[in-house]
A and B are shown apart, each in its own frame.
Chain A
Amino acid sequence: MEKTIKKPIKITDISKSKEQLVKINPQELVPLPPPYDKPDNFPKIKQLTEEQEQQMDSSLDGFVLVGFPKSVSEEQEKKWVEKFLSGVKKLLNKEDNWTFLKPLLISLEYCTKCQTCSKACNIFQMSGEKEIYRPTYRAEVLRRIIKKYIKPGGRLFGKFYGADIDLNRNLLARLAELSYRCTLCRRCAQACSIGIDNALITREIRKIFSQELDITVPDLHKLGTVQQLETGSSTGMPPLAFKDNIEFLEEDFEEYTKMKFNLPVNVPNADILLIHNAGEYLAWPENPEAFGIILEAAGISYTLSSDLVAYDSVNYGLFYDDIQLAKIALKHAEIAKKLGVKKIVLGECGHAHKALGVVADRIFTSENNIPRESCLTLLKDIVFSGKLALDPSRNDFPVTLHDPCNIVRSMGIVEPQRKILRKICPKFREMTPHGIENYCCGGGSGFAICKSLNFPDWRMHISGRMKLKQILEAFQGDLGPENKKYVCAPCSNCKGQIRDLFKFYKVTEKSSIYYGGLVELIVNAMSDIKKPFIEWEML
């Protein structure tokens, strides 16, 4: 066990000695409501093996996601410092930073350190206010690097105006990990009276590490965007398996309901190209199935695509790399154009909404700038069009709604999903707070798919803590196993995180709380389908 430096931790500590800056003790975290209030009842934090400790740097907080190499030669250190600085320079000019230059410059320039953001950050709060997780901490590290190494005279006079920081191996190792201790939920940016976006600064730090130093998280890069561009999907599912899955879903539904059912693939000139997160087909196939049932019943002209990348809306480039982001977004637009559809509709995947729905505007030209729409607005229009026969009494169980940050806070799509739930779920209740003030599931910015080493324990103990607390509070007074309850989470990533939380804390077992998407609830209320669509034992 490594010693920890005594509080308070300063910004400059990030460059110092190899001692671990912070140690996480589950007993010191903000407690969960009973019967989940005894940390000893849950799995202990996984310790790294000796071999892993020797290879990877864990001197930030004892957790490892990036796996920055432990021993770095002086020559390598010098090279990385140079590359990092070259990356910082690129962030600050418009030729190289064609995605986020303006909001980044404003965020770097005007922060008054009032700390309103710290109060808004669930990670900082639930960790028991660990200094390194403060939203301004990593931002301030970058600011000081800029002041000292980029601004004229910084190296000589820097310490007189807050530029006292050493850009060395220790800083790089800790900053690389620290850029992955924020879920990019942007609750801090919303709380800031002048809109300083510390999540964006975090994302841009990840970008420097990826684009300049080739330091990435394997789950997001090698097994994520690289695999998606090569095999067609971040799940590794090739087009052949996709088509086989579609056939299986059609048969499965027909067998279950004795109704005919078709999922259209590669239909030219349909109105809509619908793209799901491919994880849905493998982990939650009832979700794409439910989409198919609703769109068919409403008579919507749409198609899925079996082209490489076009059956997976995932774009993890959003979280760490502009080049990967652009490659995938362009592929999505290319297939839509090839099929001749009028627009792309994104299924229940939060980050795909933001990547293709918003950020792609910075990538597309007038030629490929195809309209994109959220499934939530389309579903609201369908549910209120009268085209579906809906019987809300079939959803006669308590339901609460999780707001995916990318869809709700970042895009402002707040009401459509609520209007639907108010109409079809008589026992719907909100979490506190909700809407644009929601808390992240704790799996944001791709964390939900990061399953390696001991990082999942950080997600379970710290980043997911507030969401679990909110879910339990939404069902307060009914936390026993008697009644089934449903958390509606219209986002694949959020579902993955909520599934992991429920398993870790035994929530389904103890409190009969299940989770799923929005379309499943709509189909469950459709009176034309005789058997209930939601099969609790499969959730």
Chain B
Amino acid sequence: MAIFKHGDIEIEVDEDGFMQEPDLWNEEVAKALAKTESVEELTPDHWKVVNYLREYYLEFHVAPMIRMLCKKTGFSLKEIYELFPSGPAKGACKVSGLAKPTGCV
């Protein structure tokens, strides 16, 4: 287990930088985590993805399927990769404070 520090923020993350306690997530944490994903600034398009992932996660306790993410946000998979270079599962989920995807996904 490691500690991720950025400015005043100090959170526990796993070895790949995913939050250990997703409940401690807030917008400032998202901005800090984004920097670890080579996303310098979170634009409204980024927030659209992050907010959808957050809402879904709070309701269902798991990340949505990628197809659903694309459909509900109106972004193609390619556009999501442009927003989050390491992709929806690794990049977007990490910034949104979700746990690391597990199983055959």
Contact = CB atoms under 8 A, between A and B. Distances in A.
A and B from one complex: yes
Interface of A: 51-52, 219, 223-224, 227-228, 231, 233-238, 240-241, 244-245, 248, 252, 277-283, 285-286, 312, 314, 349, 448-449, 451-453, 492-493, 495-496, 537-538
Given A453-B15, A537-B77, A234 B65 contact: no
B103 A224 contact: yes
A496 to B, nearest CB: 6
Nearest to B89: A283
B9 interface: no
Given A51-B2, A537-B78, A244 B60 contact: yes
Interface string B32-76: 000000000000000000000000000011111111100100001
A214 B15 CA distance: 21
Nearest to B63: A282
Contacts, number: 91
Interface of B: 2, 14-16, 60-68, 71, 76-78, 99-105
B60 A240 contact: yes
Contacts of A283: 65-66, 104-105
A312 B102 CA distance: 13
Binding site of A, secondary structure by majority: helix, strand, loop or mixed?
A: helix
A336 to B, nearest CB: 21
A233 B101 CA distance: 12
Given A235-B62, A241-B61, A282-B65, A277 B104 contact: yes
Contacts of B99: 236
A278 B103 contact: yes
A349 B60 contact: no
A240 B104 CA distance: 19
Which residue, B61, B62, B64, has most C-beta atoms of chain A within 10 A?
A: B62
A451 B68 contact: no
B94 to A, nearest CB: 13
Contacts of B63: 282
Contacts of A285: 65, 67
A233 B65 contact: no
Given A52-B15, A244-B60, A235 B67 contact: no
B102 A496 contact: no
B104 A238 contact: no
A238 B62 contact: yes
Nearest to A312: B103
B104 A349 contact: yes
A235 B77 contact: no
B36 to A, nearest CB: 14
A175 to B, nearest CB: 23
Contact of A235 (B2, B76, B105): B105
